[in-house]
Amino acid sequence: MYNQKKIGVIGAGSFGTALAMVLAGKGHHVTVWARKAEHIEEMKMTGENRHYLPDVKLPAEIELTADLEQAVSGKDYLLFAVPAQSFRGVMMHAAEFINPAVPVINVAKGIEKGTLKRLSQVAEEVMPELRYVALSGPSHAEEVARQLPTTVAVAAHSHDLAEEVQELFFTDRFRVYTNEDLIGVELGGALKNIIALGAGISDGLGFGDNAKAAMMTRGITEMTRLGLTMGAEMNTFSGLTGIGDLIVTCTSMHSRNRRCGILIGEGIEPADATKRIGMVVEGISTAEAAYALAQQYNIEMPITESIYKVIHGELDARNAVGYLMGREMKNEMHII
């Protein structure tokens, strides 16, 4: 019999729900928290998370609650699955119930606007002694919930802690690697959402596969350039949390960032496009943060800059493509 653990999942969006199903399937006692009581009641009534993960039956063993203390207290592990810009607020509310010895696994992918901090840095500000782990990689919730083969990576300051969380999640359908580069894993997961917006915009404009391939390839160059400047390791960006996550997010219709980009490319205003998606589009906020970081570190990130300007109405999407294509001629490996 597997060593059963008590796990609190903070956030009942699509990915939090899917990972709760993975953990419950391993025999763990899982409690899922949502901010809205009516969301929890609907999930209890229907046995599904219809808004975020429709047509997927939830295991009856999963406990559902709108009481944050109940979800956090007495747990062996905590899984945070709230939007990146909500992470600090939820963490601050949960902190009074968190035992510092309990590992906190975060799956949100973003950079905090204003502070420009990675989410591990945000967590450390709220609880300096926290045992923090990032889980990232190409892992659409819709496929994880249906037990389709998925591979991710976990990163922490402690290799032992990363291995502990690797074992917690590992199944024959959910393969987990460890990675020592916490900075790179976090940045890769955040920055690829910007490029996915760009890939969607390209699709929405009808520019074809060649343009999207170029967007993705030059996008990983930008991601790597900023990552190296901020202390990440180059190899991370050629792994699951870099190019792997970039590929799936730029090519799949499961990707809300790509879908939002398609709408923008078709002429829908960014704010209206986000509303139509009906869920948080992390690439919108991350574009603002990454644009600010590029200026702070004096780094050339033309795709990020263009998407930022499109989002803020400073540049038309079609003109942005002309700007990118018409830039001065360079060597492909220029200043990676």
User: In the chain, count of helices (H) and strands (E)?
Assistant: 15, 10
- For 314-334, give one letter per residue: b (16+ CB within 10 A) or e: ebebeebbeebeeeeeeeeee
Measured between alpha carbons, how far is 162 from 150 in angstroms, rounded to an integer?
A: 18
Could you give phi then psi for residue 42, rounded to 5 degrees?
Answer: -65, -40
Catalytic status, residue 192: yes
| Tokens encoding 202 | 């390209």
Cα 33 to Cα 27, 137, 260, 313, distances in angstroms: 19, 23, 27, 37
Determine which one of 192, 212, 275, 309 is catalytic: 192
Measured between alpha carbons, how far is 257 from 50 in angstroms, rounded to an integer?
A: 20
Residue linked to tokens 């696994």 = 105
**Catalytic residue list:** 192
